[in-house]
Structure 1
Amino acid sequence: MSDHSQSEDRAQFRRMDEGTEADWEILGREYMKMASGVVDRVIDHMKLLDGDFGGFQVDRLTHSLQTATRAYRDGKDEEYVVCALLHDIGDTLGTYAHGAVAAAILKPFISKANYWMLENHTDFQGYYYYHFVGLDKNRRDRFIDSPYYEHTKEFIDKYDMPAFDPDYPTMTLEEFEPMMRRVMRKQLKSKIAKHAAE
């Protein structure tokens, strides 16, 4: 073990069932420090999409920014715009389930409708290409009875599907950052939050 690991304020237990209130106060403070940096980590991860074209006309970051720009210019609220911005953030780490990754990141901050939209948007997007890769283009129809079907279909048709245009005047990640900070702010009303503020 390194020397600095000994100097940090750490819980004393080696099994959770041995934890004390003092241990959990320490852990609560550390948790809040980590939680306060979530937007910065998301921004850093979004930057990994820069230059990753995957064969498209625009890279994955531009596609994400363009999707969000289209939603923003269409008057969608900030929560929706942030969902549009982050909808493909999972492409790098959750390649086979990228919608679920985006949904998991934003779940604490967004409505059920927007969570469902993120989690399932890939099958709605597939309407435009699944038949070219041997899949059923109407796979989204298994969700036809969902109260969020039209919500998700609109997201794809109006914002995600057309967002591969290299000539579209797209907003920057920096312009979306304040929205992300407002949407991804969660106040924990607990003893943990109280101690973290001290």
Structure 2
Amino acid sequence: MDDLPTAQFHTMSDGTQEDWDAIMTHMVPHARSGGARVLEHLRLLEGDCGGFAVDRLTHCLQTATRAHRDGRAEDYVVMALLHDIGDVLGAYNHPDIAAAILKPFVSEELHWIVQHHGIFQGYNFFHFLGLDRNMRDQFAAHEHAAATQEFIDKYDCPAFDPAYDTLPLSFFEPMVMRLFEKPRSSIYKKALAEA
């Protein structure tokens, strides 16, 4: 892409149509390859056990494998795969990172599940850390609370089993690539679709 034109401004307030046409020649292929970058980042979880019986990548793969084998839709399976992708960057807010990555590509329900899964999973261990294990109760009346609890119980919670027959990342790669091809919502959706 080194031969593509580049913008000439040094401050965005000086940008011209020609500058933004040049920027879009870079942005369109960059945006469309988002799935590949997400998969590359997910691979950073490999080998990092963080004290668990399986590494973080295996945990994500097991969560997605369980969702897939349970007949969940492809976007749900990808959400399950990526729910802990933020572990590398956000020790204090990993669900928020995963939710931000997925937000343009999934339904409001799936976004809510991934954003709140940490609090719901906390029921199983917060009390060992001196935290309130019932923190999730603040969301009991929320329309997606039951779906989030189901995600935890069926897929996230049991996905730390070294003996589980886990599908490899290569199985999920096409699903990730399809999901990240086109956003459902984004302030840039129209501009990228027309480019």
TM bin, normalised by shorter chain, reads over 0.9
- Aligned residue runs from structure 1 range 66-105, under 5 A: 66-105=62-101
TM-score normalized by the length of structure 2: 0.92
* 2:110 is aligned with 1:114: yes
Give ranges in structure 1 of 5+ residues lacking alignment: none
Moved more, 183-192 or 153-162: 183-192
Q: Deviations over 1:105-136 (max 9, x none)?
A: 11110000000111111000000000111001
Is the contact between residue 124 and residue 156 of structure 1 (CA under 8 Å) also seen in structure 2? yes
Aligned mates of 2:130, 2:50 — CA distance in 1: 19
Aligned to 1:50: 46
- Aligned residue runs from structure 1 range 11-160, under 5 A: 11-160=7-156
Aligned mates of 1:194, 1:56 — CA distance in 2: 46
Q: Deviations over 1:124-155 (max 9, x none)?
A: 00000001110010000011121110010000
Aligned mates of 1:9, 1:79 — CA distance in 2: 36
Aligned mates of 2:141, 2:175 — CA distance in 1: 32
TM-score normalized by the length of structure 1: 0.91
Q: How many residues align?
A: 191
CA RMSD of aligned residues (A): 1.7
Is the contact between residue 71 and residue 81 of structure 1 (CA under 8 Å) also seen in structure 2? yes
One-letter amino acid of the counterpart of residue 159, structure 1: Y
Q: Please say which structure displays the higher CA radius of gyration.
A: 1
Alignment CA distance shift 1:148-1:189 (3 Å)? closer
2:91 aligns to what SS in structure 1?
coil
Is the contact between residue 35 and residue 179 of structure 2 (CA under 8 Å) also seen in structure 1? no
Runs of 4+ in 1 over 4 A off after TM superposition: none
Alignment CA distance shift 1:109-1:192 (3 Å)? closer
